[in-house]
Structure 1
Amino acid sequence: MPDTLTEEERAELELAEQARQSSGDWDSVKPGKADNFGKSFARMVGLLKPHAVAFVFVSILGAIGVFLAVIAPKILGEATNIIFEGAASNALAAQFPAGTSQETVVRSLNAAGQTDLANMIGAMSDFTVGTGVDFDALRMVIVAVLAIYVVSSFLSWIQGYVINIIMVRTMWRLRESVETKINRLPLSYFDKVQRGELISRVTNDIDNITQTMQQSLSSVVTSVLTVIGVLIMMFSISWQLALVALISLPLMAVIFGVIGPRSQKAFGTQWRKVGRLNARVEESFSGHALVKVFGREADSREKFQVENEELYQASFKAQFLSGIIMPGMMFVGNLTYVGIAVLGALMVANGQLRLGDVQAFIQYSQQFTQPLSQLGGMAAVIQSGTASAERVFELLDADEQEPDAVDAPKPVDGDGVIEFENVRFSYSPDHPLITDLSFRVEPGQTVAIVGPTGAGKTTLVNLIMRFYELDGGRILLDGQDIAELTRNDVRSRTGMVLQDPWLFAGTIRENIRYGRETATDEEVMAAAVATRVDRFVHSLPDGYDTVLDEEASNVSAGEKQLITIARAFVAQPSVLILDEATSSVDTRTELLLQHAMAALREGRTSFVIAHRLSTIRDADLILVMEHGDIVEKGTHDELIAAQGAYWRLYQSQFEQAASDMGPAVAEAAEVPAP
């Protein structure tokens, strides 16, 4: 969106906002960290609500997959028991005859004082001396485990596939919401927020949310279900070993509770620094030519290096803190693993557990701590994503322009009478700009608005376009209050050419037709001819089909301005606003434009903002503004005769021109006295 404020008015607005910031009224605008993690995280997850059914389906698939993955170690432990018990039956064949029962072996070993071995044999199931390894049973167990792992992996793949579909559609809706929101924001929002900061929220932050939810959503569901399933299996094997495993939970909670909030705060700072660096880069690139002209490359580079260093420090801190969480949880998990291995070995030796059960439990302990460690690692990712989500939510929650009334009246057919009745407006309550402004412009009149920089000239036409809402008074268009009409109805009757030309990437024909989509090629050509666009288009390789790049760098500044003027003319507005529209064209082109605009302004109410007073001598009415008020009005000759504010402006321009040319040149030029 093109800017509509002059540099001076923007500076005044920034001063006002700085005053608001110092008084604490800036929180609605400035980006911040995720101050309310729980609320922001819940809202981020709430983006998935339209896909609740699919998410339930994914959760069911995940539960089945987790159940199969959890049951597999228990079954695999039976394979270990079959091998170990078969090997033990062959080993004891040297002491006992083949076919000796388990009870006889246990009784004999206890009698011989081999209590530990007797307890171990007693814990075995279906033990008979000399039977060896049951390979048929072992084969069935292995096949069953392989089938379980294949099915579990397939279900996990389906789960990931469906979640990716959910995420892609969710982020598509989020981008749509942001785009819709931007179109509903008032122009004042863009005056307060830097472009780079806004672009960072729309691009970097949404991408970060996407990556966060894609990486963590499936893993979080699987990890939580795995922890629950494994916990149940561990208690079913041995409640003593399960309690040892549970010791890790409070330790992990302490790690996350201490490091997590600091990591979250660091990520919030990191994304703020990203936004500021983007704003710095956007500012440097958009003004690259001026940076070169004034030799400020070193200054620009120094400022970039400062911002870049701050981002580096913030990113390093965020990544360092988040990187501690997962290793810390893995360390706790390894300590738990050692405790389970030692206690499990003692329980096998005492006959309290079978060897396969301990093996399964050790696998479960790894399955228990691994998802907890993953959850710790994902916590850092989620914190980063939540910080980005809050920045996007701040944009989505920004105050919108008041919606148009549902019962807004239809615009009447008129010739473009503009009336200001006691209009009051200010960008900030502490800095009044327009206090009490009243005037009337008749149909077909050309009104020139002049005055010193910051007098409120551009603000005046912005109010006519209803870019800002009034603090008081009314603006009437053909007798109708524009505040009661829809914005589209007001702006559809108004054509505007800004001081800074704005063109989009596309052909010259498309840029001109942007003023009115239904315009025919003949109407586009007529507007181009009238505004002298036609005279340079034919020198381009593809004529009207020449494609302009994003910066329209393949045409000159003056040619860009001519295209924007043609775009306004093709719209066929009843009210025409030219904000320094000829400032970028050469003197000869300006003279040609004056004749063209005189013909095109016929029958239209026109507002012309100009600093070069020589261009508005033929205006029907000249309004002289100072500090937001009209201090003089009349024709050029009337205002010169009055020798007031306009006379002083006019005189200062020509005196400056004469001093710049030098006495001899000025005398030769015979500069007329006003």
Structure 2
Amino acid sequence: MADSKGNAFDFGLFKKLLSYTRPYKGRMYFVGLSAVLISVFAVLRPIYIEYAMDLGMQPKNMDTLLYYIGLSLLVLLGESIFQLLFIYFANWLGQQVVLDIRTKLFNHMIYFKKQYYDKSAVGRLVTRAVNDIETISSIFSQGLFMIISDLLKMLVIAGVMLYKSWQLSLIVFVILPFILYATRVFQRKMKVAFEEVRTQVANLNSFVQERVTGMKIVQIFSRERIEREKFNEINQKHMRAWNKTVWYNSIFFPIAEMVTSITIGLLVWYGGLRAVENDVITIGLVTAFIQFSQMLFTPLRQIADKFNTLQMGMVAANRVFGILDTDARIKDEGTRELDQIKGDISFQDVRFSYLEGEEVLRGINLEVAAGQTVAIVGSTGAGKSTIINLLSRFYEIDSGHILIDGTDIQDVKIASLRSEIAVVLQDVFLFADSILNNITLNNPDISEEDVVNAAKAIGVDKFISSLPEGYHYNVKERGAMLSSGQRQLIAFLRAYVSNPSILVLDEATSSVDSNSEQLIQKAINKITKGRTSIVIAHRLATIKKADKIIVMEKGQIVEMGNHKSLLEKEDGYYRKLYEVQFAANSESV
């Protein structure tokens, strides 16, 4: 991991990043060749200008003057062409690396266990997958190759300067350590500053994403002023982080400019005196050295700026690789496929805890026969939803066994397991897409005709057909264009067309109106027929016909039976729940 304490560079992280360029070695080599040629062309220009002045202008030799001016133009043209190719392919490589990393990151994240997302802010993850990865591209387009090109150019220039005149070179080289020291300090300060910038960008994105998503709650509870103040506070921190980078830039670049001007003044003073004395130093050579010094110092100043870009990219890469290096997958070590299962489910002494030492399920033993409808009831936090999360292996159990048709689900491939289980949640999530695509989830094996027939079978075709574009109606983000009841109907249809062997309904009728509930109840009766169904219900009236009712309390099963037998228990949990709910319903009438 990169060090945020101010260390200028993390070579381990850089090596890992460079590994993504291996498939594009040819382009990299061409970029390197372009950098070499640019350096050669850059050095030739001042030399030809020196010759034009000393061999053409002073002796007033027009042919020689025109000759070297022509060579200067050709060199300038060559430098421009390779500069263009250099910039294009460096940017191309950066975008290709970004494409590969972003694809790998997304493919990595979609297999993360649910527990990872429970603990991670959505806005922060979006920042990693979008902003941070885009910043990585600048390492190649504006950082790494530009720095290499500039360093190569400076090395060639320094060698030519020494060859031409060690006295004039000494003037430049005496000044050089001051700029190098200032650049080094600048780089270290900017590393820390950019780390803070990325942190504040992530905080800002996370805050805005959550507030926009939950804007309804903000407005319902009149939290606009408080949220505005919180946003201003976060925004201020973001601004202060950026201002640090501005402050360091405002100090460094004027100092570098002043040092460059002093160097030029010393070259003119010393070189001019020696030229007047008819020494080996000529006016053309002094002019060339002025250009050499600018060509030496300008890249050095730019390297500092480009190093900022490189540092921001490295900070972003550190964060992205932090996710890529995270092992948050459910272990998919099963080898068996579930094929034509009956639907027998068995929980054997299952224990589970979200946090170590705080058990949510305490030795659950449960048998569900194929084709049965089993309802699970209990107070909030009793562990009802946890059971279905474990059945689909969204979390790993601490101990015990969960079996389907006698096969431990640990021995089954996760994709195979989940293909046999359909879940309808209370809070239905719909994508900003058509109803058809939200039902099929772009599964090519499910045709529009299949969807229409399924909708007719469970009684929701009339509702869908009444929408402006029917099955192609775009429901917008999170299904905002539909009511909660309509979203539930879409979720039932989505579960039905997947033709699962096991169906799970998690509070699927708890927040819908009575009209929608009638349609949903009809849909439930249709899709549960002939398949194993687990129903988690808040409204006890909806589970009277269940073959078995499981009553849970504090992570344990406290009662089990059908509706009638459980009501016969005088001090039973189920009876108390039913009486409280029945009394509440009577009062509301």
Which TM-score applies when normalising by structure 1?
0.83
The separation in 2 between residues aligned to 1:145 and 1:256, in whole angstroms, is 32
Matches within 5 A, 1:10-49: 37-49=10-22
Per-residue deviation, residues 236-289 of structure 1 (Å, max 9, x unmatched): 111122222123332223223323222211211111111111111111111111
Partner of 1:543: 470
Matches within 5 A, 1:476-625: 476-514=403-441, 517-625=444-552
Q: Which moved more, 1:540-549 or 1:529-538?
A: 529-538
| SS of residue paired to 1:437 | strand
Partner of 1:651: 579
Per-residue deviation, residues 275-329 of structure 1 (Å, max 9, x unmatched): 1111111111111112111111112212111111111111211332245334433
Does the alignment pair 1:70 with 2:43?
Answer: yes
Q: Which 5+ residue runs of structure 1 have no aligned equivalent?
A: 1-26, 87-132, 666-674
Work out whether residues 527 and 566 of structure 1, in 8 Å CA contact, stay in contact via their aligned partners in 2: yes
Residue 416 of structure 1 deviates from its aligned partner by: 0.3
Residue 38 of structure 1 deviates from its aligned partner by: 3.5
Work out whether residues 420 and 474 of structure 1, in 8 Å CA contact, stay in contact via their aligned partners in 2: yes
What letter corresponds to residue 54 of structure 1 in structure 2? R
Work out whether residues 329 and 372 of structure 1, in 8 Å CA contact, stay in contact via their aligned partners in 2: no
Partner of 2:391: 464
Work out whether residues 516 and 571 of structure 1, in 8 Å CA contact, stay in contact via their aligned partners in 2: no
Does the alignment pair 1:389 with 2:317?
Answer: yes
The separation in 1 between residues aligned to 2:250 and 2:307, in whole angstroms, is 10
The separation in 1 between residues aligned to 2:455 and 2:373, in whole angstroms, is 22
What letter corresponds to residue 54 of structure 2 in structure 1? N
| SS of residue paired to 2:346 | strand
Work out whether residues 183 and 301 of structure 2, in 8 Å CA contact, stay in contact via their aligned partners in 1: no
| SS of residue paired to 2:275 | helix
Work out whether residues 260 and 322 of structure 1, in 8 Å CA contact, stay in contact via their aligned partners in 2: no
Residue 457 of structure 1 deviates from its aligned partner by: 1.2
Partner of 1:246: 173
What letter corresponds to residue 390 of structure 1 in structure 2? N
Matches within 5 A, 1:98-137: 133-137=60-64
Work out whether residues 326 and 377 of structure 1, in 8 Å CA contact, stay in contact via their aligned partners in 2: no
Residue 512 of structure 1 deviates from its aligned partner by: 1.8
The separation in 2 between residues aligned to 1:368 and 1:311, in whole angstroms, is 35
Partner of 1:361: 289
The separation in 2 between residues aligned to 1:274 and 1:505, in whole angstroms, is 26
Work out whether residues 423 and 506 of structure 2, in 8 Å CA contact, stay in contact via their aligned partners in 1: yes
One of 261, 267, 291 as aligned partner of 1:340: 267
What letter corresponds to residue 541 of structure 1 in structure 2? P
Does the alignment pair 1:263 with 2:190?
Answer: yes
What letter corresponds to residue 543 of structure 2 in structure 1? I
Residue 33 of structure 1 deviates from its aligned partner by: 8.3
Matches within 5 A, 1:8-407: 37-83=10-56, 85-86=58-59, 133-350=60-277, 351-405=279-333
- Judged with a 3 Å threshold, the aligned counterparts in structure 2 of structure 1 residues 322 and 565 are, in CA distance, closer, same or farther, namely farther
The separation in 1 between residues aligned to 2:574 and 2:249, in whole angstroms, is 65
| SS of residue paired to 1:625 | strand
The separation in 1 between residues aligned to 2:133 and 2:170, in whole angstroms, is 42
Work out whether residues 515 and 571 of structure 1, in 8 Å CA contact, stay in contact via their aligned partners in 2: no
- Judged with a 3 Å threshold, the aligned counterparts in structure 2 of structure 1 residues 156 and 516 are, in CA distance, closer, same or farther, namely closer
Partner of 2:558: 631
Per-residue deviation, residues 516-565 of structure 1 (Å, max 9, x unmatched): 54223343123222443222122212212222222322222211111011
The separation in 1 between residues aligned to 2:234 and 2:214, in whole angstroms, is 18
Work out whether residues 91 and 140 of structure 2, in 8 Å CA contact, stay in contact via their aligned partners in 1: no
The separation in 2 between residues aligned to 1:285 and 1:432, in whole angstroms, is 35
| SS of residue paired to 2:479 | coil
- Judged with a 3 Å threshold, the aligned counterparts in structure 2 of structure 1 residues 210 and 511 are, in CA distance, closer, same or farther, namely same
Partner of 1:408: 335
Residue 390 of structure 1 deviates from its aligned partner by: 1.0
| Structure index of larger Rg | 1
| SS of residue paired to 2:281 | coil
Residue 469 of structure 1 deviates from its aligned partner by: 1.3
Residue 221 of structure 1 deviates from its aligned partner by: 2.6
What letter corresponds to residue 514 of structure 1 in structure 2? L
What letter corresponds to residue 610 of structure 1 in structure 2? A
Residue 43 of structure 1 deviates from its aligned partner by: 3.0
| SS of residue paired to 2:411 | coil
The separation in 2 between residues aligned to 1:322 and 1:474, in whole angstroms, is 61
One of 354, 360, 385 as aligned partner of 1:427: 354
Residue 39 of structure 1 deviates from its aligned partner by: 2.9
The separation in 2 between residues aligned to 1:530 and 1:515, in whole angstroms, is 21
Which TM-score applies when normalising by structure 2?
0.94
| SS of residue paired to 2:436 | helix
Residue 482 of structure 1 deviates from its aligned partner by: 0.7
Work out whether residues 383 and 554 of structure 2, in 8 Å CA contact, stay in contact via their aligned partners in 1: yes
What letter corresponds to residue 355 of structure 1 in structure 2? I
What letter corresponds to residue 625 of structure 1 in structure 2? M
The separation in 1 between residues aligned to 2:71 and 2:14, in whole angstroms, is 41
- Judged with a 3 Å threshold, the aligned counterparts in structure 2 of structure 1 residues 151 and 259 are, in CA distance, closer, same or farther, namely closer
Work out whether residues 376 and 550 of structure 2, in 8 Å CA contact, stay in contact via their aligned partners in 1: yes
What letter corresponds to residue 493 of structure 2 in structure 1? A
Work out whether residues 532 and 562 of structure 1, in 8 Å CA contact, stay in contact via their aligned partners in 2: no
- Judged with a 3 Å threshold, the aligned counterparts in structure 2 of structure 1 residues 298 and 531 are, in CA distance, closer, same or farther, namely farther
The separation in 2 between residues aligned to 1:638 and 1:282, in whole angstroms, is 49
Percent identity of equivalent pairs:
35
Per-residue deviation, residues 424-477 of structure 1 (Å, max 9, x unmatched): 111111322112111110011111111111111111101001111111111101
What letter corresponds to residue 387 of structure 1 in structure 2? V
- Judged with a 3 Å threshold, the aligned counterparts in structure 2 of structure 1 residues 595 and 555 are, in CA distance, closer, same or farther, namely closer
The separation in 2 between residues aligned to 1:32 and 1:547, in whole angstroms, is 45
The separation in 1 between residues aligned to 2:5 and 2:471, in whole angstroms, is 49
- Judged with a 3 Å threshold, the aligned counterparts in structure 2 of structure 1 residues 61 and 227 are, in CA distance, closer, same or farther, namely same
The separation in 2 between residues aligned to 1:585 and 1:263, in whole angstroms, is 55
Per-residue deviation, residues 14-64 of structure 1 (Å, max 9, x unmatched): xxxxxxxxxxxxx99xx9889773333343344323222321222112211
Per-residue deviation, residues 478-535 of structure 1 (Å, max 9, x unmatched): 1111111111110010011111111123222222223854223343123222443222
| SS of residue paired to 2:429 | coil
Task: Give the aligned length.
Answer: 586
- Judged with a 3 Å threshold, the aligned counterparts in structure 2 of structure 1 residues 645 and 261 are, in CA distance, closer, same or farther, namely farther
The separation in 2 between residues aligned to 1:448 and 1:34, in whole angstroms, is 58
| SS of residue paired to 1:324 | helix
| SS of residue paired to 2:359 | coil
Residue 197 of structure 1 deviates from its aligned partner by: 0.6
What letter corresponds to residue 375 of structure 1 in structure 2? I
What letter corresponds to residue 139 of structure 1 in structure 2? L
Q: Which moved more, 1:240-249 or 1:351-360?
A: 240-249
| SS of residue paired to 1:48 | helix
Q: Which moved more, 1:174-183 or 1:410-419?
A: 410-419
The separation in 1 between residues aligned to 2:208 and 2:6, in whole angstroms, is 25
Per-residue deviation, residues 145-198 of structure 1 (Å, max 9, x unmatched): 111111111111122222222222111111111111112222211111110111
